[in-house]
Structure 1
Amino acid sequence: MLPLIFAFLAALFLVAPILIVIPMSFSTAISFQFPPPAYWLGYYRTFFTSEEWLEPTLNSVIIAFGAMVFTMLLVVPAAFGYVRYRFRGKSLVNLLIMSPLIVPHVVSALAYYGFLGRAKLTGTYLGVIVAHGVLAVPVAFLVISATLKGFDRNLERAAMSAGAGPFRTFFHVTLPVLRPGMLVGALFAFLSSFNEAVVALFIAGRGATTLPKKMYESIRLESDPVIAVVSTLLVSAVVLGVLVSVLMRRRPIDAA
């Protein structure tokens, strides 16, 4: 019973800030105030009609999509090579791939600032996409490599014994089975980039300002209640993304 109580308290501690932010997004107060004095949708209207907020939102979507594509181009071949082949230094390779999770983001941001600055990519979409894409590699790699480890290679052998070549086997047998896991990895890469703030503060210029960077600047200069609206929308998007990923990962099991 005691472990359940601790688990409930831990979950409450994690969820409580979200439960506070959501009603604040409907508040009529001109600054952050909880509980709200009254409720309305005015700040939602401000968010969806203000160029000041819509432009960073569009930037975040573009950058997150680009980072997702870049991450998948790196991760899919790496996961296949890591899971299917034996080679020396495999544990070291795994450590290097996981290093973005270990190294503090502020250190990574400083490194990217120096590297991308020399390449004259700071303040550009491409620079932010590259940095965000590399940071999203560990999460996508974990998902896709786990999917590969659970793949039954007898399916490939059966296809090849029936006369299918390597490419036909990959696109008609391997890829359809792995597609849900790959989509989940891509989704996590997208969300990782969309929510990344530290790197964006270092390398995103005015033309590539992301939504998290805009939120940080707004809360630093003024307590704009629109930030609560953005936070609520981001939480909703993350919850929806997690639900979609769970459904995607359950499809092969249900189909079986």
Structure 2
Amino acid sequence: MDRFLRLIGFLVIIFIAAPLVIVVPISFSNARSLQFPPPGYWLGYYQAYFSDTDWLRPTFNSILIATATTVLTMVLVVPATFALVRHRFYGKSVADLMMLMPLAVPHIVMAVGYYSFLGNLRLVHTHMGVVLAHACLSVPIAFLVLSANLKGFDRNLERAAQSLGASPVQTFIHVTLPILRPGLFISALFAFIQSFDETVVAIFISGRDAETLPRKMFDSIRQEADPVIAVISTLLFAAVLLALLTPLAWSSIRKRLRKRPPAAAFSGG
């Protein structure tokens, strides 16, 4: 049974990683379209990506919009999570349902609604409009992650701090925040990824000035199948891999430093 489960896990990993085996070589291909196996290899499409403002501008827009979305999401989610998890009030179940509603509604339906609503506010085709729409999609994910952490929080730690004279603000900064820091970080990370990777709403809301990278990739693959798409996919994969391996490498280095024997003490002559 154990071998069977390992085999299933190995097959799942192969299924997930298989597209990367194709995309990465294509990014170094000298073909004029997405062709595998590549007829030859060069770095021309990497140069085209880093020198073309039509690709760099959407990349910068995506980073800017995702960062702003993350900040706005956390500003909204943190107090809302504390209110919904720690307090009882009339309409709490309805509030919980509304917080999670965007997860149950298809993005195309949400996109139509955002386009109509933000159009009346003249925020369509603007960075602010995309940020507001993406924040609405990121709030449920961040709320689920943070509420799970907050429900497992031992409130006796806060009571102990307050019994020792700490104010509510001091208790939050020195006790609550350090314990919830991993949950806050994961919530912010999911909000950033949700915004950076979102395509459907961006097609409706973003214009030329606020065009995001996923929308640019979608338009490119639909119109001309530009191999630069493979370059961007490879760079994003490398960024994710680096983000995953860096903490592991740092943890390994710290363990080795701790296991290193102390230097021999020198005795005075």
Question: TM-score normalized by structure 1?
Answer: 0.89
Name the residue aligned to 1:140.
142
- Following superposition of structure 1 onto structure 2, how do residues 43-82 of structure 1 map, counting pairs within 5 Å? 43-82=45-84
Matched, 1:119 2:117: no
Separation in 1, partners of 2:43, 2:236: 17
Q: Is the 8 A contact 1:136 1:189 kept in 2?
A: yes
**Could you say what secondary structure the match of 1:236 adopts?**
helix
Separation in 2, partners of 1:171, 1:74: 18
Matched, 1:219 2:221: yes
Q: Describe the superposition over 1:167-221 as per-residue Cα deviations: whole angstroms up to 9, x where unpaired.
A: 1111121112212211121111111101111111001011100101111111111
Q: Describe the superposition over 1:135-155 as per-residue Cα deviations: whole angstroms up to 9, x where unpaired.
A: 011211111111212222111
- Following superposition of structure 1 onto structure 2, how do residues 82-231 of structure 1 map, counting pairs within 5 Å? 82-231=84-233
Separation in 1, partners of 2:248, 2:163: 34
Name the residue aligned to 1:39.
41
Going from structure 1 to structure 2, the CA distance change for 1:121 and 1:242 (only over 3 Å counts) comes to farther
Calculate percent identity across the aligned residue pairs.
58
**Could you say what secondary structure the match of 1:207 adopts?**
coil
**Could you say what secondary structure the match of 1:229 adopts?**
helix
Going from structure 1 to structure 2, the CA distance change for 1:180 and 1:3 (only over 3 Å counts) comes to closer
Name the residue aligned to 2:254.
none
Q: Describe the superposition over 1:65-94 as per-residue Cα deviations: whole angstroms up to 9, x where unpaired.
A: 111111111111111112112345444333
Question: TM-score normalized by structure 2?
Answer: 0.85
Name the residue aligned to 1:18.
20
Q: Is the 8 A contact 1:127 1:203 kept in 2?
A: yes
Tell me which amino acid in the other structure corresponds to 2:158.
E
Determine which structure has more spread, i.e. the larger CA radius of gyration.
2
**Could you say what secondary structure the match of 1:208 adopts?**
coil
Separation in 2, partners of 1:42, 1:70: 38
Q: Is the 8 A contact 1:184 1:245 kept in 2?
A: no
Separation in 2, partners of 1:199, 1:105: 7
Separation in 2, partners of 1:185, 1:230: 25
Q: Describe the superposition over 1:32-84 as per-residue Cα deviations: whole angstroms up to 9, x where unpaired.
A: 01111222222112111111111111111111111111111111111111211
Separation in 2, partners of 1:202, 1:235: 26
Separation in 2, partners of 1:160, 1:61: 40
Separation in 1, partners of 2:95, 2:5: 37
Q: CA deviation at 1:233?
A: 1.8
**Could you say what secondary structure the match of 2:209 adopts?**
helix
Separation in 2, partners of 1:82, 1:211: 35
Going from structure 1 to structure 2, the CA distance change for 1:244 and 1:105 (only over 3 Å counts) comes to farther
Separation in 2, partners of 1:185, 1:19: 30
Name the residue aligned to 2:267.
none
